[in-house]
Amino acid sequence: MHWADFRAQKLSEREGPQVIVSGITPSGEFHIGHLREILTAEMIHRACLDAGLESRYVFIVDSMDPLRRVYDFLSPEYEKFIGVPLAYVPAPNSEGIPSTNSGSYAEYFLAPFLKALEEIGVFPEVVMNHETYENGEFAEKIDLVIQKRSEIREIIMRESGRELPEDWFPYSPRGSRGSMDGVKVTGYDYPYVSWKDDAGATGVADISKGDGKMPWRIDWAARWIIHGVTCEPAGKDHGAAGGSFDTGIPICKLLGGSPPEKIVYEWIQLKGMGPMSSSSGVTIGPMEALSLVPPEILRYVIARSKIGRHIEFDTGSTLFEMADEYERLLTRIETGEVTKRMKTRIETRDGALRLSQVTRNSDPSDSYAGVSFRHLAMLAQLKPDNQDVFVSLRKSGHLSGEPSSSLNIRLSKMRNWIEGVHFPEGARITIQTEIGEEFRQNTTEEQRFFLNELAKSLKKSEWNQDSITESIKATTKICELQSRDAFSAIYWSLLGRRYGPRASSLIIEMDKDGLIELLSNA
């Protein structure tokens, strides 16, 4: 059973409609690491619908969270906005300077992310948290939290192991400059919290308006009740022992609510660089990733991995492997070529394929391109014209008739990938025009003799993949060469390195006379 289906089965034991939630703070550019939380929640929501449950997927934007520091992409002018909720901070312009006519900071960073979500088939109910504060939905819970602040203080200290001062107050009002930093609470008389800020100004904050907010751990517990949340996956930072989830559960119960079951997901991290982080610059944006591969592949990266396992992502070899794995599963379904071992694997991956589709309940075969990413990458580099690529695919049996929309889209994205900085160097192909010194330094006399004999064999051979494969195999045997040494010699002569795509697939795309001349000069 897929992990999303398992969660849906567990949720079916809980009465009432399901409300699956994920949340995010729009403090900077979003990255595909954020997609793990979004898609984990959205896939559980889809699984609930597939199981016949009434379900909603809600995306809560933490627009009431404050600007915590002046990030590298911001100008020093943002210093005055530190501590101000992101909904009330002006958006930066292209130079990182506060702009008065571009909406809020929160909206600025949220808009492109919502567009990316649409491309991968995610259409949540978006809730801006500052609006929930502004329209008074938090007021009742804030009042109750203030009344029970001693008990909540004890819960936080007990669960988190950190000390809170005796005068700790579970609500942060906004001071004279709109910031929640440097503001001290001096009293409470419903619905007003009195305050004094570090500039010496005094005032009151109305808890039924956006005049302040509760600390994250309490805010989270309160919103579970306000929105009727039944499931909200949490990252391992919030889900760790003593983290926000562990404090949120008893606080939610204290406030009269029924907390969701604790579900913790691992992070996506960039290969060799650790977890993605907007503030550190260790990121790949979702729109950037979507320019390289179809959306169902990005969904598959999340769907195929268990929640509790981290995903090591890069836009090089790992993405090739994921894309080719996806295509192989579809190939078996399309052609019916299913071994017993592969049948088990397909059944295991069936849920992942189902949940990887951009449109719920669509046929996975609709996204079938009929060719592996590696082979398409090779052709896209050797054939600048798309029609030439399709001609080659027809010759090799990958394509019959006209190309599907899936194949056209994939080829377009492949060209973006090849032309950009993320394409893996190991997959780049540059056909050698002459035998150079590097070739001689990396091959033996036996290998060079093999290439000379292979040229003779290929000259007499029919120019199709089976005949080329047979020529390589027969010449290797005649020359009494190990297969790995034979292929290494071929790649050094054609590509100037010891490895490459399938030799017969590469050779058949080359000019026969030019190839034979190159090998003869070995």
Is it the case that residue 81 has pLDDT exceeding 70?
Answer: yes
In sequence order, which residues have a C-beta less than 8 Å from that of residue 274 and are 6 or more positions away? 282
Residue 7 to residues 14, 307, 344, Cα–Cα distance (Å): 11, 11, 22
Question: How many Cα atoms occupy the beta-carbon half-sphere of 243 within 13 Å?
Answer: 12
User: Which residues are registered as beta bridge partners of 254?
Assistant: none
Query: Which residue matches tokens 């627009």?
Result: 63
**Burial class of residue 30 (count of CB atoms within 10 Å of its CB; 0-12, 13-18, 19+):** buried
Question: What does the DSSP 8-state code read for residue 368?
Answer: -
Concatenating the DSSP letter of every residue in 451-490 gives HHHHHHHHHHS-SSHHHHHHHHHHHHHHTT--HHHHHHHH
- Give the span between the Cα atoms of 418 and 429, in whole angstroms: 10
Rounded Cα gap, residues 368 and 366, in angstroms: 6
User: CA-CA distance, 522 to 72, in Å (whole number)?
Assistant: 54
Q: What's the pLDDT at 427?
A: 87
φ and ψ at residue 187, rounded to 5 degrees: 175, 170
pLDDT greater than 80 at residue 491: yes
Q: Cis peptide leading into 259, omega within 30 of 0?
A: no
Best mean pLDDT range from 21-35, 182-196, 292-306, 402-416: 182-196
Q: What band does 291 get if pLDDT is binned at 50, 70 and 90?
A: confident
| Residue 370, Ramachandran bin (φ over 0: left; ψ between -120 and 50: alpha; else beta) | left
Burial (CB < 10 A; 0-12, 13-18, 19+), residue 136, is middle
Whole-number pLDDT of residue 282? 47
Residue 106: predicted pLDDT: 96
Domain 437-520 architecture: Orthogonal Bundle (1.10)
Q: Is the dihedral of CA 244, 249, 253, 256 positive or negative?
A: positive
Q: Mean pLDDT score of the chain, rounded to an integer?
A: 91
Flag the least confident range among 197-206, 244-253, 312-321: 312-321
Token digits of residue 349? 């991956």
Determine the 3-state secondary structure of 204 from DSSP: strand
Higher pLDDT, 10 or 15: 10
| Residue 438: closest CA among 517, 486, 493 | 493
Task: Tell me the C-alpha distance between 276 and 278, whole Å.
Answer: 7
pLDDT greater at residue 241 or residue 485: 485
Instruction: Say how far apart CA 57 and CA 38 lie, in whole Å.
Output: 10
Residue bearing tokens 């804030």: 142
Q: 301: how many CB neighbours lie within 10 A of its CB?
A: 26
What average pLDDT does the segment 299-319 reach? 85
Q: What are phi and psi of 280, to 5 degrees?
A: -90, -10
Q: What is the mean pLDDT of residues 296-318?
A: 86
Statement: residue 211 has pLDDT above 90: yes
| CB distance 268 to 36 below 8 Å | yes
Pinpoint the alpha helices (H) of 255-358.
286-290, 295-303, 317-335, 340-356
pLDDT tier for residue 344 given thresholds of 50, 70 and 90: low
Report the distance separating Cα 369 and Cα 391, nearest Å: 15
Domain 1-270 has CATH 3.40.50.410: no
- 239 three-class SS: helix
pLDDT given for residue 268 in this prediction: 82
- Sign of the C-alpha dihedral, residues 304, 306, 312, 313? positive
Helix axes 33-50, 295-303, angle to 10 degrees: 80
Confidence bin at 342 (pLDDT 50/70/90): low
Q: What is the pLDDT of residues 38-63, one digit of tens each?
A: 999 999 999 999 999 999 999 999 99
How many whole angstroms separate alpha carbon 58 and alpha carbon 172?
26
Confirm if 280 and 236 have CB atoms less than 8 A apart.
no
Is the predicted pLDDT of residue 235 greater than 80, yes or no? yes
Q: DSSP labels for 400-419?
A: -SSPPHHHHHHHHHHHHHHH
Alpha-carbon distance of 150 to 101, in angstroms, equals 44
Q: Give the integer Cα–Cα distance in Å for 301 and 252.
A: 33
- At 155, the amino acid letter reads I
Section 65-72 average pLDDT: 95
pLDDT of residue 210: 94
